[in-house]
Chains A and B, each alone.
Chain A
Amino acid sequence: DAGVTQSPTHLIKTRGQQVTLRCSPKSGHDTVSWYQQALGQGPQFIFQYYEEEERQRGNFPDRFSGHQFPNYSSELNVNALLLGDSALYLCASSAPTSGRYQETQYFGPGTRLLVL
């Protein structure tokens, strides 16, 4: 059973460019959350997608947008990249169905983005 997968693993962009990161959730999961983790800090919540809709959003500007597809996979898009967007971007999936482990989030390995 594959866990959460993310692509690419590493990415280098320049300021002002746009980037798209991809995530496939764990089998059986239908909810995807995205986090940003700057060096030396804990992950910070960006937004969550469920049923192809953004359900909640953290304190991130509109330059950060996302999408969820019918197969539950998701994309994170960042426009007009800034140097400060350099970080590890994490995707987490969960399955809000009945059961004790409802809503426990399982994280992927992340995509490391470097903005020059």
Chain B
Amino acid sequence: DAKTTQPPSMDCAEGRAANLPCNHSTISGNEYVYWYRQIHSQGPQYIIHGLKNNETNEMASLIITEDRKSSTLILPHATLRDTAVYYCIVRALYNYGQNFVFGPGTRLSVLP
């Protein structure tokens, strides 16, 4: 079973920031938080991952709470092309052979 809880769906206005929450209250000390997204009928796309510090790349920012029990993925200026299912996954980085366990994710709809 997935170790994360996400809202099933969210809407966001185009050009505004999209903030996608994820709860992972049972996360272990060696587990990272990964985010992937899947645009309709395509393979999942890696977005970002982090351990305890906030992370930012060209796609998004990841904010992890101090107790690491929840996190938020931020798309700073959402576009229509960001409409997708977003998956939050926790996984130990050096856990060879342990693969990603996907939950149902959050379906983000960016509205014009």
Binding site for B on A (CB under 8 A): 4, 33, 35, 41-45, 48, 50, 55-56, 58, 88, 90, 92, 96, 102-110, 112
CB of B99 within 8 A of CB of A45, answer yes
What is the number of residues of chain B that contact chain A, defined by CB distance less than 8 Å?
24
Looking across the interface, which residue of chain B has its beta carbon closest to that of A43?
B102
Partner of A107, one of B45, B98, B104, B105: B45
Per the bound structure, the CA–CA distance linking A25 and B25 in Å amounts to 34
Q: Min CB distance, B51 to chain A, in Å?
A: 10
Per the bound structure, the CA–CA distance linking A41 and B8 in Å amounts to 12
Partner of B105, one of A42, A58, A112: A42
Question: What secondary structure prevails in chain B residues at the interface with A?
Answer: loop
CB of A104 within 8 A of CB of B49, answer yes
CB of A56 within 8 A of CB of B104, answer no
Per the bound structure, the CA–CA distance linking A41 and B107 in Å amounts to 12
Partner of B99, one of A33, A41, A88, A112: A33
Partner of B97, one of A4, A41, A56: A56
Q: Min CB distance, B95 to chain A, in Å?
A: 8
CB of A4 within 8 A of CB of B94, answer no
Per the bound structure, the CA–CA distance linking A45 and B95 in Å amounts to 15
CB of A41 within 8 A of CB of B104, answer yes
CB of A109 within 8 A of CB of B42, answer yes
